[in-house]
Chains A and B, each alone.
Chain A
Amino acid sequence: AQSVTQPDIHITVSEGASLELRCNYSYGATPYLFWYVQSPGQGLQLLLKYFSGDTLVQGIKGFEAEFKRSQSSFNLRKPSVHWSDAAEYFCAVGAESGYSTLTFGKGTMLLVSP
């Protein structure tokens, strides 16, 4: 069965500092990997996704993520955090087959300090 681990429940970053959110997945074949963001009281918005090809993927809002098969990781990064980035971030994994569903991690809450 597929699974996702986000080791950090909360992270606090100063505005303007760099950010890395960790995600480790467990899946036997080639995974499809996603990062979503959820602002307070809202649904989830897709930031970026990885299916194949270049292991460094660019997303919206200046985010990027790198797929590392050897480490079973898909960490999310941003070079300079803005106060508006404060939100909860979810990593998700899905299978290559036609009718699979996504499995989500438990989320990482990002707090941005002035």
Chain B
Amino acid sequence: DVKVTQSSRYLVKRTGEKVFLECVQDMDHENMFWYRQDPGLGLRLIYFSYDVKMKEKGDIPEGYSVSREKKERFSLILESASTNQTSMYLCASSPVGTGGLGGYTFGSGTRLTVV
């Protein structure tokens, strides 16, 4: 069964810490995405990547960075965590083709709490 795996389901970090959220997909997808999900706001795109070492800003990139050193792995980095980054983080991947919208496959999410 194809999968997008996020390394942690729940994470608690302190304000000011550097936080790494890891995402791995086993489908050989070119595209990978990071979204955050908040009640009443839906999903908002943070960053995405169409290829190794390539990244593009989404709608809310401030306070975040990403890394894609290998095709299967896409990391989200919170350089200095703040309480307003407490959220559910969702990783997704998709193949190229059909306009790059072959359909996203999502991971189960990481619920991050910053205290």
Tally of A interface residues using CB under 8 Å: 27
Contact among A9, A42, A49, A106 with B103 in the assembled complex (CB-CB below 8 Å): A49
Binds B, one of A16-24, A61-69, A71-79, A89-97: A89-97
Tally of B interface residues using CB under 8 Å: 25
Chain B 89-103, CB-CB to A under 8 Å as 1, else 0, gives 010100010111101
Closest to B94 in A: A102
Contact B108 A100 (CB under 8 A): no
Contact B42 A106 (CB under 8 A): yes
Q: How far is the CA of A36 from the CA of B42 in the complex (A)?
A: 12
Any A CB within 8 A of the CB of B43: yes
Chain A 71-114, CB-CB to B under 8 Å as 1, else 0, gives 00000000000000000001000111111111111110000000
Closest chain B CB from A37 CB (angstroms) = 11
Closest to B96 in A: A98
Q: How far is the CA of A61 from the CA of B50 in the complex (A)?
A: 31
The interface residues of chain A lying within 8 Å CB-to-CB of B100 are: 94, 98-100
Contact A46 B104 (CB under 8 A): yes
Contact A96 B99 (CB under 8 A): yes
Q: A42-B108, A43-B4, A101-B33 are in contact. Are A34 and B103 (CB under 8 A)?
A: yes
Q: How far is the CA of A62 from the CA of B37 in the complex (A)?
A: 27
Chain A 46-64, CB-CB to B under 8 Å as 1, else 0, gives 1001010000000000000
9 A–B contacts from the bound complex (CB under 8 Å): A32-B99, A34-B101, A36-B104, A44-B104, A51-B98, A51-B101, A94-B101, A100-B100, A101-B48
